């Protein structure tokens, strides 16, 4: 199975990235710090995707993003050959943008498709591990090769599919997901996942769509993203733990750029101290 790993991202730019972490929105970072933090996070995510070594790595960037800046940033960090391609999102909403990225890879399931499966993730999940990506690929291959997976494909117009239907996703701390993967033969679209009139969470919508079309679905471990100050506060202990665990588990990949930048900022998380009552 040919896999495409797509990182869905805005190009790092002051005032465009992680604005809910900034003091202007009640957070703790300046707009410059938010941009630098996101850039470090994005590079760590790219690093993990490359290290996973289980598919071509693509980047889908925002329409108005500075492609030259992103190209220079990636080439200076990883080299010219690390990323298969950077392409521009042409969707007008988050649903449409995610679907555009998938359609760009699958080419309507035709013989010209760039991969048999696509895995999409954001650039704000710096603790993402290569092992998690490899697990997602392995699980998708497993469920998409079963009889239920090929029965599910009959809902589509695809004839003689090389692999069956299936979805893999992570969960995050707010009823969403930060990694999702599925095969070109899966009867699924992002329509209504993020924007729906009933206020259903993105995670629920994926489950509802999978149930409606009897799509085999499996999970990988939770991957936290960082959107809000509380996310950043809860993430700092994760980094501290990873630094210790990595000494004993060589499979752990540290998000070194994110760690370095947060240490430069001098941020620490504390917990309320409870008084002992006799």
Neighbours of 169 (CB within 10 A): 25
Q: What does the pLDDT read at residue 110?
A: 83
CA distances from 96 to 12, 44, 105, 115, 212 (A): 21, 26, 14, 20, 21
State yes or no: pLDDT of 2 exceeds 90. Answer: yes
Q: What does the pLDDT read at residue 175?
A: 83
Neighbours of 166 (CB within 10 A): 29
Residue with tokens 């370095």: 260
Domain topology for 3-265: Spore Coat Polysaccharide Biosynthesis Protein SpsA; Chain A (3.90.550)
Quote the CA–CA distance of 116 and 270 in Å, as a whole number: 46
* Per-residue pLDDT band at 276 (split at 50, 70, 90): low
SS3 120: strand
- pTM here is 0.94
Q: What does the pLDDT read at residue 172?
A: 86
State yes or no: pLDDT of 146 exceeds 80. Answer: yes
pLDDT in tens, 234-244: 999 999 999 99
Quote the CA–CA distance of 51 and 55 in Å, as a whole number: 10
73 neighbors 39 (Cβ within 8 angstroms): yes
Structure tokens at 169: 């996703």
Average pLDDT taken over every residue of the chain: 94
β-sheet bridge partners, residue 169: 180, 219
68 contact partners, CB below 8 Å, separation of at least 6: none
Of 61, 34, 33, the residue nearest 46 (C-alpha):
61
CA distances from 30 to 3, 34, 255 (A): 38, 6, 22
Classify 245 in phi/psi space as left (phi over 0), alpha (psi -120 to 50) or beta: alpha
State yes or no: pLDDT of 133 exceeds 90. Answer: yes
State yes or no: pLDDT of 168 exceeds 80. Answer: yes
β-sheet bridge partners, residue 58: 6, 85
Quote the CA–CA distance of 99 and 104 in Å, as a whole number: 8
């Amino acid at each position: 199975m040919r896999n495409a790993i797509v990182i869905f991202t805005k190009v790092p730019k002051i005032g465009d990235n992680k604005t809910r972490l900034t003091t202007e929105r009640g957070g703790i970072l300046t707009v410059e710090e938010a941009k630098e933090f996101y850039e470090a996070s994005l590079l760590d995510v790219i690093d993990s995707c490359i290290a996973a070594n289980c598919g071509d790595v693509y980047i889908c960037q925002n329409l108005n993003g500075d492609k030259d800046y992103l190209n220079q940033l990636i080439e200076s960090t990883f080299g010219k050959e690390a990323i298969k391609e950077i392409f521009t999102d042409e969707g007008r909403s988050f649903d449409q943008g995610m679907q555009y990225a998938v359609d760009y890879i699958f080419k309507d399931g035709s013989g010209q498709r760039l991969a048999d499966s696509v895995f999409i993730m954001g650039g704000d999940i710096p603790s993402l591990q290569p092992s998690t990506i490899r697990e997602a690929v392995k699980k998708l291959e497993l469920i998409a090769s079963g009889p239920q997976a090929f029965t599910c494909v009959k809902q589509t117009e695809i004839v003689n599919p090389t692999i069956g239907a299936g979805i893999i996703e992570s969960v995050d701390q707010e009823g969403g997901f930060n990694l999702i993967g599925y095969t070109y033969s899966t009867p699924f679209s992002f329509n209504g996942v993020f924007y729906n009139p009933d206020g259903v969470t993105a995670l629920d919508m994926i489950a509802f769509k999978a149930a409606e079309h009897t799509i085999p679905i499996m999970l990988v471990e939770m991957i936290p993203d960082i959107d809000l100050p509380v996310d950043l506060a809860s993430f700092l202990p994760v980094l501290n733990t990873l630094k210790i665990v990595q000494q004993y588990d060589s499979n752990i990949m540290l998000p070194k750029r994110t760690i370095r930048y947060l240490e430069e900022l001098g941020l620490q998380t504390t917990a309320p101290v409870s008084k002992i009552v006799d």
